[in-house]
Amino acid sequence: MKGYSIGVVGATGLVGRTILKLLEEYQINVDNLKLFASDKSKGKRIKLFGKYYYVETLYEGCFKGLDFVLFSTGAKISKIWAPKVVKEGGYVIDNSSCFRMKRNCALIVPEINLNDYKTKCKIIANPNCSTIQCVLIVKTLDDLFQVKRINYTTYQSVSGSGQKGIIELKRCLNHKNHCFYPYDISKTVIPEIDEFLINGYTKEEMKMVEETRKILHKKNLKISATCVRVPIESCHGVVVRCELVNEYSDQVFRNKLETLENIIVLDDPVNHIYPTSVIAKGNDNIYVGRIRKDLSCKNGVLLFVTSDNIRKGAASNAVQILKGIINNIN
Ligand SMILES: NC(=O)c1ccc[n+]([C@@H]2O[C@H](COP(=O)([O-])OP(=O)(O)OC[C@H]3O[C@@H](n4cnc5c(N)ncnc54)[C@H](OP(=O)(O)O)[C@@H]3O)[C@@H](O)[C@H]2O)c1
């Protein structure tokens, strides 16, 4: 099988470093690898596939000959540099929010809509971390009972803000002044992630609304979200509340979840068994528990989902998209 030329932009960041680990873990056949980061990291040496690779900064023509470039920097860098990859003939898989809602870019969770990339341009967007872990569960409910309305409430770890979030939590735990979040994250949860919009929601909340609709191809689905930062280092938890068109059957839902790869039901509350960040950290599973009927409506279900935001919420989903496209090509 052909080996591929791959670039990783943001290779020294939380998501980028995990992408590199996953290229090995998912046995991607890499012939040629180019690593990019900021000036700060220029010349850093990273060992992968038994070889050393040196980190470069971005320059005109740096993507020549690359089949796939995975971006994990931020929207500003993706906006400028991703189109240059396409000009050179390669695919982009982008972790930022830059292209997610662009009509001509696919927004993919491979278990749901991998083939969307076939009818769009060569820039593929990776969804927001909280969206990825919820949408697979929502899709299952929708297939079984038809989802009418969704409400998300997130409990998002500081690593969702990248390296800066982890440094800030450590600084606050060491009784130093906070300087990244608006409050001392070691002492409070913060119901503010990303900028506030004029509708009173934050950008992060609207990402969950719009991205869920796009991935499920349901542009009129009623959704609202509240996103909250919590003082833990990794993994996001989300309360998902779905109102359904058809009558909910707990047994049918649980039986279906048991058949899905990488979805693990942990739901024995009396014995304190439910999804926790400790269990989710470092793997690609999505953990579901506290599944129960929603008492506030006729036909609804409430549950709690946890997953590793750096893995399935970002790097793993990106590498799974890469693997999916490679499998389709071969
Ligand atoms: N963390 C999450 O849970 C998560 C989940 C989903 C999506 N994302 C998205 O993934 C992206 C990366 O997040 P992260 O958490 O990995 O952030 P991070 O830890 O702060 O890493 C940022 C990376 O971008 C690089 N970078 C910064 N400026 C650059 C420049 N001018 N040219 C080239 N590279 C540059 C950094 O290089 P240096 O090390 O040299 O500074 C670093 O490798 C963001 O768009 C984020 O929204 C993150």
Mean pLDDT across 37-66: 96
Angle at 153 between CA 147 and CA 159, to 5 degrees: 125
Does the pLDDT value for residue 37 go beyond 90? yes
Q: Give the C-alpha separation, 21 to 27, whole Å.
A: 10
Does the pLDDT value for residue 1 go beyond 70? no
For residue 309, the ligand 1 atom closest to its alpha carbon is: 3
Among 152, 109, 143, which Cα is nearest to 244's?
A: 143
pTM of the model: 0.97
Among 310, 287, 299, which Cα is nearest to 238's?
A: 287
Which residue lies with its CA nearest to atom 46 of ligand 1? 96
Does the pLDDT value for residue 2 go beyond 80? no
Q: Is the CB of 72 under 6 A from ligand 1?
A: yes
Contact assessment for residue 58 and residue 65, using Cβ atoms and an 8 Å cutoff = no
164 CB-near residues (< 8 Å, 6+ apart): 180
Cα of 291 from ligand 1 centre, angstroms = 34
Which residue lies with its CA nearest to atom 39 of ligand 1? 12
Residue 228 burial by Cβ neighbours in a 10 Å radius (0-12, 13-18, 19+): middle
E strands, 57-160, in order? 68-71, 91-94, 106-107, 123-125, 147-155
For tokens 């942990």, name the residue. Answer: 266
Residue extents of the structural domains in the chain: 4-127+314-329, 130-309
The catalytic position among 129, 134, 235, 242 is: 129
Q: Which of 8, 15, 164 to mutate to test the pocket of ligand 1 (most atoms within 8 A of CB)?
A: 15
Quickly name the fold that domain 130-309 has. Answer: Dihydrodipicolinate Reductase; domain 2 (3.30.360)
Structure tokens of 271?
Answer: 């014995």
Which residue lies with its CA nearest to atom 8 of ligand 1? 95
Quick one: 4-127+314-329 is in which CATH superfamily? NAD(P)-binding Rossmann-like Domain (3.40.50.720)
Structure tokens of 306?
Answer: 């946890």
Q: Give the C-alpha separation, 238 to 48, whole Å.
A: 34
Structure tokens of 131?
Answer: 């969206």
Q: Which of 35, 73, 195 to mutate to test the pocket of ligand 1 (most atoms within 8 A of CB)?
A: 73
Cα of 229 from ligand 1 centre, angstroms = 18
Q: What is the helix (H) or strand (E) element at residue 329, kind and residue range?
A: helix 316-329
Q: Give the C-alpha separation, 286 to 265, whole Å.
A: 9
Distances (CA, A) of 111 to 43, 72, 74, 309: 37, 21, 25, 17
Segment 196-230, tens digit of pLDDT: 999 999 999 999 999 999 999 999 999 999 999 99
What's the chain's average pLDDT?
A: 97
Distances (CA, A) of 187 to 53, 228, 237: 41, 14, 19
Describe the chain by its helix, strand, coil percentages, rounded to 5.
35, 25, 40
In three-state secondary structure terms, 1 is: coil
Among 233, 227, 187, 185, which Cα is nearest to 205's?
A: 227
Catalytic site includes residue 227: no
Q: Is the CB of 95 under 6 A from ligand 1?
A: yes
Angle at 195 between CA 137 and CA 239, to 5 degrees: 25
**Other CB atoms within 10 Å distance of the CB of residue 60:** 7
Mean pLDDT across 320-324: 98
For residue 96, the ligand 1 atom closest to its alpha carbon is: 45
Cα of 76 from ligand 1 centre, angstroms = 11
Angle at 76 between CA 71 and CA 77, to 5 degrees: 40
Q: Is the CB of 78 under 6 A from ligand 1?
A: no
Segment 55-96, tens digit of pLDDT: 999 999 999 999 999 999 999 999 999 999 999 999 999 999
Task: Name the residue with higher pLDDT: 254 or 1.
Answer: 254
Where does 192-315 have alpha helices with state H? 203-216, 250-259, 277-280
Q: Is the CB of 212 under 6 A from ligand 1?
A: no
Residue 277: its pLDDT value, please?
A: 97
Segment 91-121, tens digit of pLDDT: 999 999 999 999 999 999 999 999 999 999 9
Contact assessment for residue 143 and residue 112, using Cβ atoms and an 8 Å cutoff = no
Does the pLDDT value for residue 264 go beyond 90? yes
Cα of 273 from ligand 1 centre, angstroms = 34
Look at the alpha carbons of 211, 215, 220, 223 in this order and tell me if their dihedral is positive or negative. negative
